[in-house]
Amino acid sequence: MSTFETIIYEKKDGIAYITLNRPQALNAVNIKMRDELYEVLTALDDDPEVKVGIIKGAGERGFSAGADITEFGTTPSQNIARQIRWERDLWGQFLGVSKPLIAAIHGFALGAGVEMSMCCDIRIASEDARFGLPEVGIGMVPTAGGSQTMPRLVLPGMCAAAILTGEIINAAEALRIGLIHRVVPRDNLLPASESLARVIMSRSQTAVRYTKQAINRGLDLSLAEGLEMENRLFSIVLQTDDAKDGIKAYRQGSKPKFAKF
């Protein structure tokens, strides 16, 4: 386990666990946490032992209450603040991780908290989870990409009300509009996330990475361009040992060598 001030980083059986660890502040994202998350995401992506990452929040009250507003206006100048954000593009770092990321969400996921989860590939929530982008209520706009990531995730036309009103929605509504993928009892949140991680790890990791790349890159392409990109990636993956082994195993009715979980 690595030592950080605001997060806990652990690895076990191919899964990396990132725990937001400021429970006294409802895991609000301060500058220190931004820096440590940026560092640990780089380490996670570069670590050959890690296949999937699970991000969760410490404490009973929630995943994250969002940005730490006590730090607003405390930087020496707006120019310096912008330079720090540019050099440490945390949300871009989340989106750039080549390995699947699962957000295990309980309690409150507000502002930058829900925005962080939307930068993950899969979102599993406990029944007590509450989601919201409350920035308009304090005279601001979403600051961590929420106005861009939410429209790419939820049912068409469903995000404007959530963003413009800043109202908090429960887990059932979040599931209905497509913000999250699954709702489970609170005590099953981590086991359900780990079970899904193991399913992903039982697949070809080469195929998983290329498939994630196809999904994320395709969002910025036309359908025709996306299909062409998918075909290129398919041609690349088809030449790999995993694909050859998987096809052979399928024909023989056996288990591929890469399916170790």
Catalytic residue IDs: 115, 135
Q: Please, are residues 10 and 16 in contact by the beta-carbon 8 Å criterion?
A: yes
With a CB cutoff of 8 Å and minimum separation 6, the contacts of 72 are none
Q: Where are the beta strands (DSSP E) in the chain?
A: 2-3, 7-12, 15-20, 52-57, 62-64, 101-105, 108-110, 122-126, 130-132, 169-170, 182-184
- For residues 76 and 84, give the distance between their C-alpha atoms in angstroms, rounded to a whole number: 11
What is the amino acid identity at position 136? V
Tokens of 85: 């954000």
Q: Give CA–CA dist 247/241, Å, rounded.
A: 10
